[in-house]
Amino acid sequence: MSEQPDVLIVGGSLVGLSAALLLRLHGIDCLVVERHTGTAIHPRAGHFHLRTVEILRSAGLEERVRRKGEEHYHPDGGINNVESLAGREIASYFPNLNAGVEEFSPTVRLFIDQDDLEPILRARAEELGAELRYRTECTSVSQDADGVSATLRELATNSEQTVRAKYLIAADGNRSPTRERLGIAMRGHGLLSNSVTIYFRAEVDLAPLLEGRYQGVNYVTNSVLRGFFRLDRTGNRGFLVVNLVGDTARPEIVAAYPSAPWANVAQTITEQRALELLRAAIGVPDIPVVIEDVATWRAVADNAERYQAGRVFLAGDAAHVVPPNGGYGGNTGVQDAHNLAWKLALVLRGIAGVRLLETYDEERRPIGELTVEQAYARYVTRVAPYLGTDGMQPLVDDFAMEIGYRYNSPAVVLEPEDDRALHQHPRESKARPGSRAPHVFVERGGRRMSTLDLLGRNFVLLLAPGGEAWRGAAGAAAKKLGLPLDSHVIPDQQFPDAYGITGAGAILVRPDGFVAWRAADGTAASEPIARDVLRSLLCHPDQAGR
C-alpha cells in the first residue's frame, strides 16, 4: 500500500469510488480505504440524474451503466404514487423519466441499483490505477502546512499504519467519523423519521398488478404506511422503504401525538411487522412473499456548516444528508467529487493557486444546502404533509436542479449583470458563466456528437467561426501558464445562440463542464486579457483580491 499518495480517500462506496476514478482520469495518485469487505451489498441509491450520467459518460462508463441498469429496470420508467400496487394511482410525478431530456442532454436519466453500479466504478478506478484497500478504517487524522497524516487500521489483523497524503477526501458517510473529528456541525431540519427498508422477493407473479405502470419508483400512501417501492422489471423482487406508519392524513391523530410515533418505524420493526407492512403496500392480504433483509436507517435533511477544513474535504453524505425523495443523495455526492477532482489536480501540479481549493466549499456548499431543502420539500409533499409547508422552499423544476445549478466563486468570471442565482432552467441559462455548458449536437469529423463530448480533462475554449482571434490569444496565455488548453471552432449555426454569443464570440469551459468565462464577441481578444482571465480562474496569488 502506498504510504504517500497525493490524495487519501476515506470511504470506498459510491462517492469515494467516483472520486478515485475522477482523480485518476486527471493522473492523480490516490488511495481509497473502506471499512467494509467490498462494494455495496444492497441496492440503496438507484435514481441517477442527467448530470451524473453525463459525468459517467465523460469517464467512458455510460453505455456499460445503462446496459446494467436495463437488466433490472425499464429504461423509461417513471415515478408515481399509489394506494398500493393493487390499488388506484393517486399521482404521477414522472410518467416517463426521460420525457423531454433530449433537448438538454445527450444522455438519459436511469435507474441502476447501487450494488450493480459500484463494481463498475471500482473496476474503472482500478483500471485507471487507483489503489483500493478494503477492511481498513481511518482511526485518526492530523494535518500541518504540508500535508495530512492518517492512521489506518487493517481490521482483519488489527495492525496499524500511518499514511501521509497531501490532501484527504472524507467520503465516509452520513455519520462521518472524519467530520466528527474535525468538529464540523450539521445544520438543517434534522431527523425526519427512523425508517426501514424491507428487501423481499414474491413467490407469485406481481406483474398483473403493475400492468401499464412499470415505474422505477412507486410511492405508497395508505392508512397503514407511507413510503415507496423500487421493483425490478419483473416486479417480483425489490425493496419497500417505509418512512411512516399509521394514518397521518387524519389531523386528529397528528394532534394527539406530538412526539410523532408514526415516524419511529425502525424502533418497533420485527420480521412479522415487516411482512404486514409489505402486504399492506402490495395491497393483497396473505400474498406469499419472503423477507430477505430489513435495514434500519435515519431519514435526515442536513448540510455541513463547511465542506473544507484545511487539507481535508467533505464529500457525499459526509457533507450533506438528504431523504431519498428526488434521488439527490448519491447524485450530489458524485457531483461533489467531480467539482473537486480537477481542482486538486491543478493545484497538485502547481498550475493553480491553492486558493482554488477553497472554491470547492464556495461552490458546493450552497448547492448542498439547496439540495437538502429540495429533498426536504419533496419528502413533505410526497410522504409527510403533516409537517406543513412553513419554512419549506417552493419546489424547483427537476431540470433546473439536475443541470441548471450554478456556481458563484473566484473560479468563475461572472458578468456584471449576473444575479448570482443558484439555479436557472437550462433552456434559459445560455452558457452564463457559472452554469453547466449547454448541450448542442454538432458535426465533428463527419460524426454527430454533443458539445459536452468535447469537454472533460482540460480547460476547453469553444469558438464561433469568427472567434479565431481568441484562439491565438488564449492559447499563448495558457502556454505561458503551463495550463493545458483545448480549443474547438464550432461552425454549427445553433451554437452561438445556445451559448449566448455572436459569431465572433468565445466560451471558456472548466474541466468539470461548467462555463468559466464568456466573450460575447471578439472585440477584446488579446493575450493580456486572456492571461488575466486565466490567472483569475486559476486563483494565482496576485489575483486573489480580484
In the predicted structure, residue 391 carries a pLDDT above the cut 90: no
Residue 37 placed within a domain: yes
**pLDDT at residue number 251:** 77
**Of 342, 374, 398, which marks where a domain is finished?**
398
Predicted local distance difference test score (pLDDT) of residue 487: 96
481 in any annotated domain:
yes
pLDDT at 214 over 70: no
* Residue 124 exposed, middle or buried by CB count within 10 Å (0-12, 13-18, 19+): buried
Residue 544: the pLDDT is 45
C-alpha to C-alpha distance for 485 and 475, rounded to whole angstroms: 7
pLDDT (0 to 100) of residue 443: 85
In a domain, 422, yes or no: no
Confidence class of residue 257 from pLDDT cuts 50, 70 and 90?
A: low
Task: Answer yes or no: do 249 and 372 share one domain.
Answer: no
Say how far apart CA 251 and CA 329 lie, in whole Å.
31
Residue 75 is predicted with a pLDDT of 84
Both 114 and 200 in one domain: the answer is no
pLDDT band at 211 (very low <50, low <70, confident <90, very high): confident
* Residues 195 and 332 grouped into a single domain: no
**Cell 474541466 maps to which residue?**
511
Is residue 255 domain-resident?
Answer: yes
pLDDT of 529 over the 90 cut: yes
Q: Supply the pTM of this predicted model.
A: 0.95
Residue 403, pLDDT above cutoff 70: yes
pLDDT score at 256: 63
CATH classification at residue 538? 3.40.30.120
Q: Identify whether 411 is part of a domain.
A: no
**Any idea what the Cα angle at residue 310 is, between residues 309 and 313, rounded to 5°?**
55
Q: Mean pLDDT across the stretch 373-393?
A: 94
Mean pLDDT of 89-113: 93
Helix ranges (H only) for 203-327 are 207-210, 251-256, 271-282
Question: Are 178 and 205 contained in the same domain?
Answer: no
Say whether 522 sits in a helix, a strand or coil. Answer: coil
Are 350 and 28 a contacting pair, CB within 8 Å? no
Task: Point out the residues that are catalytic.
Answer: 219
197 plus 229 within the same structural domain: yes
The length of the chain is: 546
Same domain, 210 and 151: no
- Whether 511 and 325 have beta carbons less than 8 Å apart is answered as no
Residue range 273-300: mean pLDDT, rounded: 95
Average pLDDT over residues 104-113: 95
Residues 143 and 68 both lie in one domain: yes
Question: What's the rounded mean pLDDT across residues 361-385?
Answer: 97
Q: Is residue 228 part of a domain?
A: yes
Is the pLDDT assigned to residue 145 strictly greater than 60? yes
Q: What is the DSSP string of 392-423?
A: PPPPPPHHHHHH-B---STTS---TT----SB
Residue ending a domain, among 281, 300, 319, is 300
Predicted confidence band of residue 177 (pLDDT cuts 50, 70, 90): very high
* Residue percentage of the chain with pLDDT more than 70: 97
266 and 339 in a common domain: no
Q: Within 13 Å and on the Cβ side, how many CA atoms surround 32?
A: 31
Lowest-pLDDT range, 32-36, 264-268, 373-377, 410-414?
A: 264-268
* Average pLDDT over all residues of the chain: 93
Q: How confident is the model at residue 13 (pLDDT cuts 50, 70, 90)?
A: very high
**Mean pLDDT computed over 128-154:** 97
For residue 247, the model assigns a pLDDT of 86
Residue 101 lies in a domain: no
Does residue 405 lie in a domain region?
Answer: no
**3-state DSSP assignment of residue 443:** strand
What was the pLDDT predicted at 385? 92
From 300, 323, 353, the end of a domain falls on 300
Q: How high is the pLDDT of residue 470? A: 96
Give the pLDDT of residue 456.
85
pLDDT of residue 545: 41
Q: Looking at residue 283, which CATH number applies to its domain? A: 3.30.9.10
Q: Which domain holds residue 168?
A: 7-73+108-186+304-398
Q: What is the CATH number of the domain that holds 37?
A: 3.50.50.60
Q: Which of 364, 366, 346 has its CA nearest to residue 355?
A: 346
Residues 127 and 48 in one domain: yes
Same domain, 161 and 193: no
Same domain, 385 and 286: no
Which of 182-191, 202-211, 225-234, 535-544 is predicted most confidently?
182-191
Per-residue model confidence as pLDDT tens digits over 427-466: 999 999 999 999 999 988 788 999 999 998 999 999 999 9
Percent of the chain with pLDDT over 90: 84
Shared domain check, 178 and 50 = yes
In this predicted structure, what is the pLDDT of residue 468? 92
Q: Categorize the per-residue pLDDT at 514 as very low, low, confident or very high, splitting at 50, 70 and 90.
A: very high
Long-range contacts (CB closer than 8 Å, 24 or more residues apart) made by 73-78: 73/46, 73/110, 73/111, 73/112, 73/216, 73/232, 73/233, 74/214, 74/216, 74/233, 75/108, 75/110, 77/111, 77/214, 77/215, 77/216, 77/217, 78/215, 78/216, 78/217
Instruction: Count up the domains in the chain and report the number.
Output: 3
